[in-house]
Amino acid sequence: MKKLLNDPADAVADSLAGFALAHPDLVRLSSTPVFVCRAGGAVTGKVGLVSGGGSGHEPLHAGFVGDGMLDAAVPGAVFTSPTPDQILPAIQAADGGAGVLTIVKNYTGDVLNFETAVELAVEEDIAVASVLVNDDVAVEDSLYTAGRRGVAGTVAVEKIAGAAAYRGTDLAGVAAVAERVIANVRSMGVALAAPVVPHVGGPSFDLGDDEIEVGIGIHGEPGRRRVPAAGADAVTEMLVAPVADDLDLGSGERVLLFVNGMGGTPLSELYVVYGRARRLLEERGLTVARSLVGNYVTSLEMQGASVTVLRLDDELEALWDAPVNTAALRW
């Protein structure tokens, strides 16, 4: 397997160094310990937002540091949680005096390490609240988590909570908005081919040329089932139905439809999935009020896609529309 790397052991460090050089107006990189924060530092009087997790999911999370979203992001090694001694300085860097919200994807390592860092921050008299993202409807338990996994719905949580913080909402209010997004967002993904972790050098799992894995996680975890490969419309139906059913969406509701690429699927194919997903939602009497299509929560170069649906109300829609300026998301 060919990759544009030097020493695989330096893959994350080299990538972060290049990322910081490319976006000096948005981010600053701390190398010891490793985390990324806003170039201008914490915003005085604003609730700070911190998230993080294993690398390999770029642009999540560092690509969402900037105005209107995260104040700091903490990257671990590829598919490996960051450590508390990384997370605590990121919380400190994001603290502008109004407290900090940590947004944690539901993976055991992330949960434990963020909990430890939050306890240490509280001992330093920093007000910290935490929310747990668990939007994946594919499985209840996996090798990495107790309960549902946190996947592409994390983007909506970070964007909307970030907008709430920028409008001046207090810590309890920002946490409440984030929890409302979590309660109303669901995702499901499919893999056509496995990713290759740099230091491993081979595919994370075996998948035949005529097979797809439905319900895959973002680390190559097992899905709901392995089935014969099918056309885009049929595969999209396998993703949309469980998501919409789990949300118990009713006719007349407004939603955000987010089709996310896993890193190795062309944008042209993601739009094919989006077209079918939108038609399926509209057939249920839903209005797709907002859309997002692209590679935002990847799994290295895994071929595949996920479908995320967020139930909208007037406030969530306005917060989604609020200005954002990050490396990966801006309007």
Residues with catalytic roles: 57, 219
Q: Which residues contact 317 (CB under 8 A, 6 or more apart)?
A: 254, 256, 289, 290
User: Helices 153-166 and 314-321 meet at what angle, rounded to 10?
Assistant: 90
CA distance 94 to 196: 33
Strand order in the sheet with 48-55: 27-31, 34-38, 72-78, 48-55, 100-105, 128-133
Four-CA torsion 216, 221, 222, 223, nearest 10 degrees: -20
Provide CB contacts within 8 A for 56, sequence distance 6+. Answer: 78, 79, 195, 197, 219, 298, 299, 300
* Rg of the Cα atoms in the chain: 19
CA–CA dist 210, 79 (Å, integer): 27
Q: What are phi and psi of 184, to 5 degrees?
A: -120, 15
Question: How many C-beta neighbours within 10 Å does residue 218 have?
Answer: 34
- Beta-sheet strands, E only, within 79-232: 100-105, 128-133, 185-193, 211-214, 225-228
CA dihedral for 317, 260, 162, 249, sign (positive or negative): positive
d(CA 93, CA 277): 40
